[in-house]
Structure 1
Amino acid sequence: MNLSALSLRDLEYVVAVAELRHFGRAAERCAVSQPSLSAQIRKLEEALGLSLFERTSRKVLLTPRGEAIVAQARVVLEEARRLLVLADGSDGALTGRLRLAAIHTLGPYLFPHILPALRNGWPDLTLILSEGRTETLLEELRDGRLDAVLLALPVESDGLVAEPLFFEPFLLAHPAGHRLCAMPTLSLNDLDPAELLLLEEGHCLRDQALAACGLSARGGGVHATGLETLRHMVAAGAGCTLMPLLAATGEDGRLATVGGLVDYRPFDSTSDASRPPGRIVGLVRRVSDPRDRGLRDLAALLRRTLPPGTESVLAQRDE
């Protein structure tokens, strides 16, 4: 096979099918008919002399050799995007499309705060938003499937740059009328570990809550799949939980009390800690991204657009 038989468009088709595991949805993403997409992938497979996918009536799976081909296809497509960025003379500015993702416990609550500023700052930028878990988002960022991610720091930074944005405190969410309501101040030592409700394994907020409370990975007996379920478990009287500030308030700034069944209490700073329990939210991007200047501008804008109740965290590098 020579290079003339290989097109970037075909590689886009292959990567889309690999990510969506569905030919129809991949065709929709690529704005092409499914028969055309399938025919081009078949043609590419014949040219390569191998099968990229296992096709059944119910699912599409990558073959072992297909996994390697798709990984390299992502590299080729990312380098092609770099070429376009360098060629358009934008000097690293944000143009075209930006694939921005956030962890599940942050995205739904942060995006409403930052979207107006993003739309005003880059009106011609096409934003593609998504959510996921930290490990998955970092993998997609390194593979070039995402351009930047918003998550809790620190993270494994090999090949990545993390821009700290702000500190978000945790509040204690407890049933209305709980014994802790009568306490004049609140510290982590006041919590009963047996009452602590957590997210299921795989959520970084679970690990942060356990660490803040000084508990092992087995701490907390009841788990939830997401923050909204966790909030409703508190409303049902099942226990208490640490709730990120942004998740405790709606777009109007009011606390989400589930009909008055949930109360929130802030934690007091202790003598050995400058801040109450919480997390540092940051923007993470690839070192190799040619839009470095634009992504640094994005981080600077996000620092200026602090959600109410959060605290600025200055980056270690100059703006």
Structure 2
Amino acid sequence: MSVTLRQLTYFVALAEAGHFGRAAAQAHISQPALSLQIKELESQLQVPLVERLPREIRLTRAGTEVLTRARRILAEVDDLGQAVRWREGLSGRLHLGVIPTVAPYLLPAALTRIRARDLTLELRVREAQTDALLDGLRAGQLDAALVALPVAADWFVTEPLFEDRFLLAGSDRRVKAWAEDVEQLRPTELSADQLLLLEEGHCLADQALDVCGLTGRGQVDLGASSLSTLCGLVSEGFGLTLLPELAVRVEAAAFDRLALARFEAPEPSRHLALVRRASSSDDGWLHDLGELFREAAEPLLMEARRACP
């Protein structure tokens, strides 16, 4: 049997695209050439891997198993290359993933520091929700991802970064009225019908429900796709939300009607970390990258604590 890495790469591309034409375009080869590689792979394995339908392909049971193993093999090969790339610390090429509730606030300052450290670093950044980033790490498409803990998997090693506390955000009238109605400002005093959340899939929405002791969303669910949309809604009186300190500088400047209040101790928060595959090589580059993110975050967090003491 002589299965090649090229065949596995093309098969993963086909499985992810779900169509020979789209997969060929993404792989920058002709459709007949891609089809030939898949047929040769099926011949080598002596089993059909895909069902060829008129407008799409569907993986067979064997194809699903091969896809899992192919991603694992390609990730290991990428780790082999990474071991060489990182032999002098943070240098070479970096594919980085960042969750959407961090990217617009932290990346501008962090990327400036990363490029200042090494102008030759080839940097690629992907913004996506946590599950998609972890899938990208497993598949070898990313070297590291910035996510909120916990990350429940044996695949990963974490580099803790910093604590990002949550503030209560809303219109001035709503925030003052809520503060007057409760003895202490605690997130557990919020009801599901008061709280606006990001759309499902965002870890911040799950964290907000958890710290507020809620099991589900309210009857009126205006789930937003970004924190900026959420802040725009609550600043106009549509409920209340939890805003990370990391986002205060940008969102407070964008919405002059946005009011903030700090919860009583212990304050609700999230803990952010960099994550890499446990199988990947690390001679200090992940820690170095973490230091740059911590440096970029410090003035944002301090500004939020001055703005809302």
TM-score class, shorter-chain normalisation, is: 0.7 to 0.9
Counterpart of 2:159 in structure 1 is: 163
- Deviation, 1:192, is 4.3
1:129-144 equivalence runs, <5 A: 129-144=125-140
The 1-side partners of 2:239 and 2:253 are apart by 18
Please tell me whether the aligned partners of residues 195 and 240 of structure 1 are also in contact (alpha carbons under 8 angstroms): yes
1:83-232 aligned within 5 A: 83-86=80-83, 88=84, 91=87, 93-178=89-174, 180=176, 187-188=185-186, 192-193=190-191, 194-213=193-212, 215-221=213-219, 222-227=221-226, 228-232=228-232
Give per-residue Cα distances to partners, 1:243-264, cap 9 Å, x unaligned.
22333433xx85221xx4x413
Tell me the SS of whatever aligns to 1:209. helix
Is 1:283 matched with 2:283? no
SS of alignment partner, residue 284 of structure 2: helix
SS in 2 for 1:58: coil
Extract structure 1 runs of 4+ deviating beyond 6 A.
Answer: none
Please name the residue that 2:286 is paired with.
Answer: 295
Corresponding position of 2:72: 75
In the TM superposition, residue 239 of structure 1 has moved relative to its aligned partner by: 0.7
Cα separation, partners in 2 of 1:89 and 1:209, compared to 1, 3 Å = closer
Structure 1 CA distance for aligned equivalents of residues 55 and 287 of structure 2: 44
Q: What is the distance in 1 between the residues matched to 2:29 and 2:93? A: 19
**Aligned partners of 1:112 and 1:62: how far apart in 2?**
40
Measure the CA separation in 1 of the matches of 2:85 and 2:63.
35
Deviation at 1:182, TM superposition (A): 9.6
Alpha carbons 1:168, 1:309 under 8 Å: kept = no
- Per-residue CA deviation, residues 253-301 of structure 1 (Å, 9 max, x unaligned), is 85221xx4x413141442xx2xx32211110112210134222221222
Q: Distance in 2 between matches of 1:307 and 1:25?
A: 43
DSSP 3-state at the match of 1:308:
helix
Partner of 1:317: none
Greater fraction helix? 2
Q: Does 1:306 align with 2:306?
A: no
* Contact in 2 for aligned 1:94/1:291 (Cα 8 Å): no
Q: Which moved more, 1:289-298 or 1:61-70?
A: 289-298
Unaligned runs of 5+ in 2: 303-309
The number of equivalent residue pairs is 297
Aligned partners of 2:86 and 2:283 also within 8 Å: no
Deviations 1:140-199 (A, max 9, x none): 323433221111112214232111112222222212433517969982269542311122
Whole-Å Cα distance in 1 between the matches of residues 246 and 230 of structure 2? 15
Mean Cα displacement is larger for which, 158-167 or 215-224? 215-224
Q: Deviations over 1:192-228 (max 9, x none)?
A: 4231112233322122212222x22125332404234
Cα 1:16–1:98, aligned 2, differ >3 Å: closer, same or farther? farther
CA RMSD of aligned residues (A): 3.0
Q: Is the 8 A contact 1:160 1:287 kept in 2?
A: yes
